[in-house]
Amino acid sequence: MASTDSGPAVTRRAQARLGIALVAPAAILVLLFFILPLANAMYFAVIRFDGVNPNPPFVGLANFTQMLGDPVVWRALGNNAIWIAIGTAAPLLMGLVIALLLWNVGRGSLWYRVAFFIPFILPGVAIGVVWGWIYDPIRGWLNEVLRMVGLGEATTGWLGNPDTALYAVIATAVWASVGFAIVVFLAALQSVDADLIDAATIDGAGAVQRTRHVVLPQIMPIFLMVATVTLIGGFSVFDIIFVMTGGGPAGATEVLGTYAYSNAFQFNRISYGTALALLITILAVPFTIGLNRLQRRMSLYRTGA
Amino acid sequence: MEGPRRSEQPRFLPSDLGRHAILLVLAFVSLFPLILTVSTAFKTEQDVRVNPFGLFSSFSMENLVTAWTVGDFGDYVLNTFILSVPSTVLVVVISIMAGYAFARLPFPGRTVVFYLVVLGLLVPFFTYMIPLYFQLQGMGLLNTLPGVILVLTTTGLAFGTIFMRAFFSELPPELEQAARIDGASELQIFTRVMLPLVTPGAGALAVFTFLQNWNNLLVPLLYLPGGDFRPLTMGLYVFLGGRGIDIGPLAAGTLITILPVIVLFIVLQRQVTRGILAGAVKG
């Protein structure tokens, strides 16, 4: 921060005036369209509001106790957990492998990066439309390819089959997010100390050993950062499921986000929906803080070393 | 031919040929949905019915024409610009102002306000989207252009402010001290000395925010339920729900929705990647 040496009182007063004036628009918008609705969310969660009744009754924690006995909530939580596990691990691992393959590839590196990154910038709706075709039960490419390689028995209506729908949507999400991991890892790899790798090579370390013991420790803080981002994304996943399956078939892809949405906007259980949405945030906070701490500690360790 | 550092670089595969072979296959998988969209969008109506997903088996513009006229995608493109451009400008301008204040101007309450703004990065939108619906209704902003633009703007402010603050923090304090000795006012220091130095950052933020706004489905879907000013993402979603069987026009609509994003990304990919990297590392 500048301004420890803020100089004469006149300057400080002028700075404070300008500071308040410059922050005002941001502060007003954030208060009005973020803090206020967030506070309202907490209020909605302890009343029973159906969207119409002007004097909704206070119910305390009833919305939260209701969740405990709601089988859909438990199923959604389970799906969230699966999503978080696969949706975090797969982009990290694939991103790391592809980034290592791309590292110093020389020719065409830029075009590879563009090719891998494009899915990440596409709107979720468009992604949902096209992957819906790829998973099409009759003429979809996934089934076509399976038939071509002699796995005709494995063909199914990927999004219509409750056993496969969740994994099909996760696979799409992984496809869409792996580019982010690749680009971030590639940026991190640029700062890896090449001398250390040469030294390891001279000492007879193979490619896998070099990666594990020399490269990975150096990019670990960035690795954890990407893990944090994708993990939090896993808690709050909504868009892609909403577009591809809407939580169906028969609740097979229901996550807390989609269940909160349908409660609020389809069943008029505004308060219950809001309480569900709050639950996700509450669940995500300890993970966010924990991973953030770990990441910070590792960055400090690295710069200190 | 190859870079000077090439010789000292590690090799993870015995041959570069094998490496390129693997990367090409992966790049093809990465781009396949895009290829499929282009292929289906340009099919003739008859070909779509028989063979919707066969690659490049016919060529016609009829799907694009149908999507643009009957499917209203022409209007959706305009609406997307009407929603994305003002909110992008607002995010960039307001973030620059707030970012500068947080980085370089001491004022009472700075820490508290800063934490309130940053909280926006931790709380996902759908946590407060339901109460926000009723709030907008009460304020008379539901189903209005200003309502949606202000909400879109606010969702971008947390990232934008932190992003711009980082750029302003990096500038040396000698710059403002010298300007102050020359008799510049605090406002002049901001607009004439510091602001020109962060234009690359502001550009990256603008591109990144524009893409976010362009891709946003939930904000218009929730807060424009009346169907006015429907943007591309929402149009595509509604089309998918109502006429999802019309694969040809649906492919064309998808292409219309994603083409600007892809073109913008390829032209300005340095800015986009920079915004995302900075956001990831600093956020």
Question: What does the pLDDT look like over A74-104, one tens digit per residue?
Answer: 999 999 999 999 999 999 999 999 999 988 7
Look at the block and give the residue holding tokens 């691990």: A89
pLDDT exceeds 50 at position A196: yes
Looking at per-residue pLDDT, the higher value among A100 and A296 belongs to A100
**Amino acid, single-letter form, for residue A71:** P
Gap between the Cα atoms of A194 and B247, Å rounded: 51
Predicted local confidence at residue B6, as pLDDT? 43
Q: Does A174 touch chain B (CB under 8 A)?
A: no
Q: What is the mean pLDDT of residues A225-247?
A: 86
The answer for A 137-156 residues in CB contact with B (under 8 A) is 139-141, 144
Inter-chain residue contact A11 with B240, CB threshold 8 Å:
no
- pLDDT score for B281: 54
Residue with tokens 């929705």: B257
Predicted local distance difference test score (pLDDT) of residue B1: 36
Residues (pLDDT < 70) of chain B are: 1-15, 243-244, 278-283
Q: Which chain A residue is nearest to residue B267, measuring alpha carbons? A: A114
- Reported as type and span, the H/E element at residue B105 is none
Range picked from A186-200, A275-289, B29-43, B264-278 for highest mean pLDDT: B29-43
Distances in whole angstroms, Cα of residue B145 to Cα of each of A123, A147, B156, B161: 21, 50, 17, 24
8 A C-beta contact, residue B63 and residue B42: yes
| Residue contact B22–A41, C-beta within 8 A | no
Q: Could you tell me which residues come within 8 angstroms of residue B90 by beta carbon, excluding any fewer than 6 positions away?
A: B149, B153
- Backbone phi, then psi, for B162, in 5-degree steps? -65, -40
Q: Which of residues 60-79 of A touch B (CB under 8 A)?
A: none
Give the DSSP letter of residue B123.
Answer: S
Beta bridge partners of B40: none
Find which of B107, B119, B153 to mutate to test the A interface (most A CBs within 10 Å of its CB). Answer: B107
**What distance in Å separates the CA atoms of residue A133 and residue A250, rounded to the nearest whole number?**
20
Among A92, A105, A280, A100, CA closest to A178: A92
Cβ neighbours of residue A111 under 8 Å, at least 6 residues apart?
B27
pLDDT digits (tens, 9 = 90+) for A152-161: 888 888 999 9
Of the pLDDT bands very low, low, confident and very high (cuts 50, 70, 90), residue A300 is: low
Instruction: For residues A164 and A162, give the distance between their C-alpha atoms in angstroms, rounded to a whole number.
Output: 6
Query: Hey, what are B84's tokens?
Result: 């994305």
Q: Which domains occur in chain B, in start order?
A: 6-66 (no CATH), 73-282 (1.10.3720.10)
pLDDT over 70, % of chain A: 95
Provide the pLDDT for residue B124: 85
Report all structural domains of chain A as residue ranges with CATH numbers, in order of start.
1-45 (no CATH), 64-304 (1.10.3720.10)
Nearest to B118 by CA among B91, B87, B157: B157
Chain A residue numbers touching B280 (CB-CB < 8 A): 180, 184, 225-226, 229
Residue A220 pLDDT class (50, 70, 90 cuts): confident
Residue B160: alpha-carbon gap to chain centroid: 12
Query: Nearest C-alpha of chain B: how many angstroms from A162?
Result: 20
Is the link from the previous residue into B33 a cis peptide, with omega within 30 of 0? no
Q: What is the pTM assigned to this prediction?
A: 0.89
pLDDT tens, A127-143? Answer: 999 999 999 998 899 99
pLDDT attached to residue A299: 65
pLDDT, residue B283, reads 40
* B window 54-93, beta carbon within 8 A of A: none
Is the pLDDT confidence value at A243 over 50? Answer: yes
Q: Do B105 and A16 touch (CB under 8 A)?
A: yes
Q: Which residue of B has its CA nearest to A238?
A: B126
Q: What is the pLDDT of residue A301?
A: 55
**Residue A201 contacts B, CB cutoff 8 Å:** yes
